[in-house]
Amino acid sequence: MKDVAARAGVGLKTVSRVVNGEAGVTPDTEQRVREAILALGFRRNDSARILRKGRTSSIGLVLEDLADPFYAPLSRAVEEVARAHGTLLINGSSAEEPAREQELVLAFCARRVDGLVIIPASDDHRYLEPEIAAGIATVFVDRPAGRIDVDTVLSDSHGGARDGVAHLIAQGHRRIGFVGDHPQIHTAAERLRGYRTAMTEASLPVHGSWVSMGSTDPERVRTAIGAMLDGPEPVTALFAGNNRVTVTAVRMLRERARSAPVALVGFDDFELADLLSPGITVVAQDPAELGRTAAETLFRRLEGVHDAPKRVELPTRLIVRGSGEVPPA
Amino acid sequence: MKDVAARAGVGLKTVSRVVNGEAGVTPDTEQRVREAILALGFRRNDSARILRKGRTSSIGLVLEDLADPFYAPLSRAVEEVARAHGTLLINGSSAEEPAREQELVLAFCARRVDGLVIIPASDDHRYLEPEIAAGIATVFVDRPAGRIDVDTVLSDSHGGARDGVAHLIAQGHRRIGFVGDHPQIHTAAERLRGYRTAMTEASLPVHGSWVSMGSTDPERVRTAIGAMLDGPEPVTALFAGNNRVTVTAVRMLRERARSAPVALVGFDDFELADLLSPGITVVAQDPAELGRTAAETLFRRLEGVHDAPKRVELPTRLIVRGSGEVPPA
DNA sequence: CTGAAAGCGCTTACAG
DNA sequence: CTGAAAGCGCTTACAG
């Protein structure tokens, strides 16, 4: 910029004016500055601008896995909102590791992002308190924050799971298995709770062997489902706690196609669910809407809205496609 | 930092030393500084650090759509490599709009990212010349750059499509349709070329109505496929130019299940392709490997490797699952 | 309409 | 082992 000013024979401030399209420069001066910019290949250094202005016009998004088909649309929705606000998106995957979540969040804060959208992997976010106090707006999405009070956008995991399991009960099922993610994950715990609610509301007992929580690794899920199907009180229907479990369940039921058919309802919709035979009945969330709502909440804060932190819960939707309407054997 | 120094009764440089874990501070002094940092809730401002250091330790990734199942693993792979290099990832979706691609790239450059990984939407990248001259390392992936000479990582679209179409020919098909994306997109054009190569190698004519290029919007794809199946020279097999086309083709063939079965091979693998009936035979790329290779190439440049720009072409793999082995009616 | 000075919050290069 | 001065490249607040 100094070089441009020297070459154009003007002051620094005049170059700044031209670069930022501010008024108060004669066409003639502006022309000289523009020529110097072109000749020198000058591009404004936003790092310096940011340092001086205080706002970075960037936000950070921490999620579990960018490549997960559930989070990809969420992430894209956040990006679109950010773009509409002239803001850049920095993101990172926590890989479900609390230490990595914290590392990413603090790295973003050190870059002085204006705000954060977080899908947490940990359950204690007090480490964020100084950052929030320092003015970094923060919204949690998909899962709530632990031990701090911040804006949160969730899906109704409890209600969705209850609806899905009630649907199986309505088809006549009495012995229903639940396979979920690690119980520390809020959504997993809530869905299990929804399952129990539905069973209780129908006065059905829940056999201990019908519930399995843990890694969504296919091997573990297979073992769990195998035990439910071949155990002493074999289930006639399965409720899968998320998309990864559902896919493994579909594979497994396919392989056992010769045995008595087992009904299946999964939490989370996924592409091609309608093309399988039977189509997979699911409790669908709207990940893009989660992302959009979270990002809009964030920007409302950045625009200076200062009421108490809010918790938004988005409804789920049961999509009937066939797999959940298989009657009990 | 000034406040911390004042409170600890030391100089700025000493605070800097403690914050950065540099040697040469007595334990006693360090202790005082740490206490001041804690008391004041001080966090280093990386914007200032960046300005002074010259390197931002961030890279930019521009792709077409973060939410596309093909690009999500690519993006994740880039992130992992960046992470291994202590670098943050900024990303944005071009939505296949050249103006948006350029806007994102220039915004990243203004933030002085150390490097760029670009999946281009445009075919003229001369606008990048000043940035590259200014030292921003750049790698193109999935599609080549236009009118500039830079590192590029591609899949073998031509060879993959040729293999896929040759596979259909080997099953006895003579009338094969090709439905692809917009012909301006390099991969789309290359796959079409692969189709023609395979047909020519088998001395088969290509009827004009067997080729349709354009938007991957389901309505357009349906119309195109309908014309091929119901036209004067009806095809007995289809080659789909990418995952979006394949999915629409699957839906359509499913609906027409009562007519003579049509063979299908698609470019790009997708989740659950094996669970459909029949399973979908595909020419698979490895998007994560594309991303990893591109990012590693980028970091090699950032570490100072200065040979001529390289072009890497990764092989594709034909995965046989059933849909491509349907014989001609 | 234009520009000189100060400052954003750090690090660098140097001196003690 | 420690710190004062200069500077990274901009913008702000002000004066002319």
Yes or no, beta carbons of A47 and B51 under 8 Å apart:
yes
Structure tokens of A37?
A: 């910019």
For residues A272 and A306, membership in a common domain is answered with no
Asked if residue B50 is part of any domain, the answer here is no
Say what the alpha-carbon torsion angle B240, B241, B247, B252 is, to the nearest 10 degrees: -40
Other C-beta atoms lying within 10 Å of the C-beta of residue A111:
23
How far apart CA A66 and CA A92 sit, in angstroms, is 7
pLDDT of residue A55: 87
* pLDDT higher than 90, residue A121: yes
> Which B residues between 49 and 68 have a beta carbon under 7 A from any strand D atom?
51-52
How would you class A110 by CB atoms within 10 Å of its CB: exposed for 0-12, middle for 13-18, buried for 19 or more? middle
For residues B162 and B103, membership in a common domain is answered with no
For residues A172 and A277, membership in a common domain is answered with yes
Whether residue A232 has a cis bond before it, omega within 30° of 0: no
How far apart CA A224 and CA A208 sit, in angstroms, is 12
pLDDT of residue A302: 93
Structure tokens of A33?
A: 């500055």
Query: Quick one: average pLDDT of A174-184?
Result: 97
For residues A180 and A264, membership in a common domain is answered with yes
pLDDT of residue B54: 85
The residues pairing with B266 across neighbouring beta strands, listed in sequence order, are B240, B282
State which residues form the domain around B185.
157-285+318-325
For residues A32 and A91, membership in a common domain is answered with no
pLDDT of residue A329: 84
How far apart CA B138 and CA B141 sit, in angstroms, is 10
Q: What is the mean pLDDT of chain A?
A: 95
Asked if residue A136 is part of any domain, the answer here is yes
For residues B210 and B119, membership in a common domain is answered with no
- For the sheet containing B151-155, what is the strand order? A311-314, A151-155, A137-141, A115-118, A58-63, A88-93, B88-93, B58-63, B115-118, B137-141, B151-155, B311-314
**Domain at B11, CATH number:** 1.10.260.40
**Confidence band of A185 (pLDDT split at 50, 70, 90):** very high
Half-sphere exposure of A186 (CA within 13 A, CB side): 19
pLDDT of residue A312: 98
Quickly tell me which residue has 């650090």 as its tokens.
B49
Could you report the per-residue pLDDT of B230-282, keeping only the tens digit for each?
Answer: 998 999 999 999 999 999 999 999 999 888 899 999 999 999 999 999 999 99
> Which A residues between 27 and 86 have a beta carbon under 7 A from any strand D atom?
42-45, 48-49, 51-53
Domain count, chain A: 3
- Please give the span between the terminal C-alpha atoms of chain B, in angstroms, as a whole number: 78
User: Chain A contacts of B250, Cβ < 8 Å?
Assistant: 272, 275
Q: DSSP letter for B108, please.
A: H
Asked if residue A50 is part of any domain, the answer here is no
Report the nearest residue to nucleotide C2, CA vs C1': A14
User: Chain B contacts of A37, Cβ < 8 Å?
Assistant: none
Of all residues in chain B, the percent with pLDDT exceeding 90 is: 86
* pLDDT higher than 90, residue A54: no
**Domain at B293, CATH number:** 3.40.50.2300
Could you report the per-residue pLDDT of B113-153, keeping only the tens digit for each?
Answer: 999 999 999 999 999 999 999 889 999 999 999 999 999 99
Asked if residue A37 is part of any domain, the answer here is yes
Quickly tell me which residue has 């700044």 as its tokens.
A16
- For residue A122, which phi and psi values (nearest 5 degrees)? -110, 175
Could you report the per-residue pLDDT of A199-208, keeping only the tens digit for each?
Answer: 999 999 999 9
For residues A253 and A275, membership in a common domain is answered with yes
For residues A148 and A199, membership in a common domain is answered with no
Yes or no, beta carbons of A51 and B48 under 8 Å apart:
yes
For residues B163 and B105, membership in a common domain is answered with no
Half-sphere exposure of B205 (CA within 13 A, CB side): 4
Yes or no, beta carbons of A48 and B51 under 8 Å apart:
yes
Q: What is the DSSP string of B272-302?
A: TTTTSSSBPEEEE--HHHHHHHHHHHHHHHH
For residues A228 and A121, membership in a common domain is answered with no
Return the closest nucleotide (C1') to the Cα of A51: C8
How far apart CA A8 and CA A30 sit, in angstroms, is 9
Q: Report the candidate in B240, B245, B123 with the shortest Cα–Cα distance to residue B192.
A: B240
Cite the beta strand spans of B142-188 per DSSP E. Answer: 151-155, 176-180
Contacts of A245 (CB under 8 A, 6+ apart): A179, A180, A181, A216, A221, A266
Could you report the per-residue pLDDT of A256-273, keeping only the tens digit for each?
Answer: 988 889 999 999 999 999
Asked if residue A176 is part of any domain, the answer here is yes
